[in-house]
Amino acid sequence: MATSTKNPPESKIEKNDPPKTSERFNTINAQVNQRLHTFKENNPKWVAYYADMVKTSPDRAVDSLLLNRMFRFEADTRQAKTLTPGAEEWLNKQSPDVQQRVHERVEQARPEERATVFIDLVSQEKAKIDFSPRTATGHGQSMGV
């Protein structure tokens, strides 16, 4: 009996998990791929160094890749900690509808990302409000028809 190679339904896939296939590694934007190719041509010693690292010490190669993500995550977390008090103050002044929407979406995020997700959501909500159409306030002259 042949095994099925169908993908699981969308509802069974964790939204925060990257795809488990190697297909995602082969889908690079053409412009990014060209830039990477040029960079590799200009830096053959780096290419050789990392290729050798992957062959001889895969654990070190993985650590090297994860190190950049770790630094970015730590910087984002530090920034979120400094911005959170102002974001909470702004959110507390908004309607309960906005507050509920933000808190529900924050709860859906992974625990380690909730601080940065909170800041992102508050920024998005603030942008929606700041750029919403204004109603006439009655100040100034009206245009006669």
For residue 41, give the amino acid letter.
E
pLDDT tens figures, 10-51: 544 455 555 555 565 666 788 888 899 999 999 999 999 999
Confidence class of residue 94 from pLDDT cuts 50, 70 and 90? very high
Number of neighbours of residue 51 by Cβ within 10 angstroms: 11
Please report, for the chain, the start and end positions of each structural domain, with discontinuous segments joined by +: 31-130
0.95 surpassed by pTM: no
Q: Cα–Cα distance between 90 and 123 in angstroms, integer?
A: 10
140 DSSP assignment: S
Number of neighbours of residue 120 by Cβ within 10 angstroms: 18
pLDDT tens figures, 53-93: 999 999 999 999 899 899 999 999 999 999 999 999 999 99
pLDDT tens figures, 65-74: 899 899 999 9
